[in-house]
Chain A
Amino acid sequence: MDMDDFGDDFKVPQRTVRKTYEIEYESLPQSAVERLVANDIDHISGIFGVEASAASLLLRYMNWNKERLIEKYMDNASAVTVAAGISPPSRASPSALGPDRSQGSSSGTRTSGFRRSARQTPAPPKAKPQPFVCPICFDDTQASFAALACDHTFCSGCWTAYITGKIREEGEHAIRCMAEGCALVAPDPFVRTALTDDPETWERFNELLVRHFVASNPNLKYCPYPSCTYTVSCPTAASKSALTTIVPIVTCGPDANPPHRFCFGCPIESDHRPVICSIAKMWLKKCRDDSETANWIKSNTKECSNCQSTIEKNGGCNHMTCKKCKHEFCWVCMGPWSEHGTAWYSCNRYDEKGGVDARDAQSKSRASLERYLHYYNRWANHEQSAKLSVELYAKTEKKMEEMQVTSNLTWIEVQFMKKAVDEVFKCRMTLKWTYAMAYYLEKGNEKELFEDNQRDLERAVEDLSELLESQIEPEIIPTLRQKVTDKTVYVSKRNEIMLEDTAKGFLEGRWQWNVPVEGFD
């Protein structure tokens, strides 16, 4: 069902203007990329006056860099032709690129170099001993043979097995001749003929070509989700320098659930806004390197600071109440919860004083570990809470069903719960990354403002999160609905502010780092 259909509950204005933290991009199905590939091939084939199959091999050899290919080709066509595996060294000359016996002609269906029988070969350069036996399988019942322009002849069965293996096992799109040391590459029509009875492998071959094209083009990125064949085009994020000012989070075309969201600028396969790629990567590396030190934090159980009984966290909310002594505390800082609702709430801020006071190396390193743990702790907690949201979804679903029974709300009307859980999840992802950012932010006014936004968002999220986990009595449902709806709108607004202000800060060059960061001086 369509979860965006919430009636009038959420009066969020229509998105007409692009936010600073959103970027322009286009999602392309494989067929659209295939058209781009075909355009490039046509272009080169037209300029050089060569077959499309030769143009394709030339482009692949030059990693689809047309300008460089044209330059090189004008300089020494035969050298490029040999290097691309189109013709053997001795016979290299631009004329060898014309319609060639072994590459077939572009007209008709028989566009292959596969000879149906050795005898039908028109005037082979040197007579093959009759009957010809394939030097790979030695199967003398084979009657159909083929060779590339080098004339290394093998039976069709061996060619098909070899080409299939190269594509299926090795993911290879440039398939070399089977002869030892021969550098010729099978042109597409040759591959197609070998795979006549195997359209699936032929399709895989075309996918490999598209992948190579996409990988060679900085404006394009293949969707990293398994078995997805969409490509995203995002020229604004194509340069390294752009990545110091924008966070190019994109979503690929198909309406997948969950959507295929990934970063165009780095290998992180999730939304790491508001943090730019280099900071995000640096943080993840730090976490990997220090994983042992910080492992204990990830555990789901802690001791109550009052009565020492073991408390397990099973929801996303940080407001913990000890079942035994009823002590209320914050899961993250273990401080009393009563302090968290007040204006001087500073659970998100690290008190740098300890580090300044540290004199000797040992206390310095202890202070730096403490500092790291402060941020890591909060980072890991939001990640953990987001993971627990699967449970929260299930619980919420159940509550929604109950609500329908105990109140006169329809299924559509109880969707406010689901929408709230979605929003909490989204904001926890933002919050998580803000701790990575804060870890590297230089002390000062800008950082303080950043942490103000972070605190406001965090407090709003924890509020809503707690509300969602509270007991639902039938008589409070109407007020609860209003409260949850209001808080959801507020949380969403705080998230927007966090993302928007951080993104603007990057564009304005407002953020200063306490370590050298790639792309900043």
Chain B
Amino acid sequence: MASISARRLRKELNEINVEGCPAGIKLLSADNFDTWLFSIEVLGESLYQGEVFKLMFRFDANYPISAPAVQFVVDETRGAPIHPHIYSNGHICASILGTEWSPVLSVSAVCVTLQSMLASCKVKERPVDNDRYVRTAPDNPKKTRFQYDGDTV
């Protein structure tokens, strides 16, 4: 019997293949049920005009009961979006990836939420505790207990 996470991810992948991703989001790779990569850009007017970011999803066997680990990829070619809730190592402080996660949410839903989080950004700046966080951050952002403030998603 296939695990819940494999069945669920197969279904989500199938939907993406049939219906396509939401506008501005492209599936880069989904070769297994551990790690998926997307490219993400904000369409229309925003502070991130012309910038394309890379988003990584990591799933464990408990997906979708527990949230996927989601972060922006930081490599030689690109960095993480400059945003008050995104750390320079790509980790994201968003409550839907933590306490507000619902198993009903999907990979597409997360992409859309992050896209609108970028779209509504008013000031391009790093979180105030960026340096301290990045210095001690775990590899997997799910291991961090973020404090979500009022305007997070």
Contacts and interface: CB of A to CB of B under 8 A. Distances in A.
Interface in B1-42: 4, 7-8, 11
A137 B104 contact: no
B96 to A, nearest CB: 8
Given A137-B7, A137-B8, A138-B11, A181 B65 contact: no
A291 to B, nearest CB: 19
Nearest to A182: B102
A161 interface: yes
Nearest to B64: A136
Specify the main secondary structure of chain B where it touches its partner.
loop
Contacts of A203: none
Contacts of A135: 104
B105 interface: yes
A165 B62 contact: yes
Nearest to B101: A180
B102 A165 contact: no
Interface string A169-181: 1000000001111
B65 A158 contact: yes
Interface residues of A, number: 17
B100 to A, nearest CB: 8
Contact of B102 (A137, A161, A178): A178
A469 interface: no
A511 interface: no
Given A161-B62, A162-B65, A165-B65, A180 B4 contact: no
Interface in B64-89: 64-66
Contacts of B104: 135-136, 178-180
Nearest to A176: B102
A136 B66 contact: no
A29 to B, nearest CB: 31
A312 interface: no
Contact of B7 (A139, A154, A162, A165): A139
B50 interface: no
A157 B8 CA distance: 14
Contact of A158 (B11, B103, B105): B103
Specify the main secondary structure of chain A where it touches its partner.
loop
B9 to A, nearest CB: 10
Contacts of A157: 4
A165 B66 contact: yes
Given A158-B103, A162-B103, A178-B104, A137 B66 contact: no
Contacts of A180: 102, 104-105
Contact of A179 (B8, B65, B102): B102
B103 A178 contact: yes
A140 B4 CA distance: 12
Contacts of A137: 4, 7-8
B124 to A, nearest CB: 29
Given A162-B103, A178-B104, A180-B105, A138 B65 contact: no
A175 to B, nearest CB: 12
Listed from nearest, the 7 A-B pairs whose CB atoms lie closest are: A180-B102, A136-B103, A137-B4, A161-B65, A162-B65, A178-B103, A180-B104
Interface of A: 135-139, 154, 157-158, 161-162, 165, 169, 178-182
Given A139-B7, A158-B65, A180-B105, 17 more contacts: A136-B65, A136-B104, A137-B8, A138-B7, A138-B8, A139-B4, A154-B103, A158-B4, A162-B65, A169-B66, A178-B102, A178-B103, A178-B104, A179-B104, A180-B102, A181-B102, A182-B102
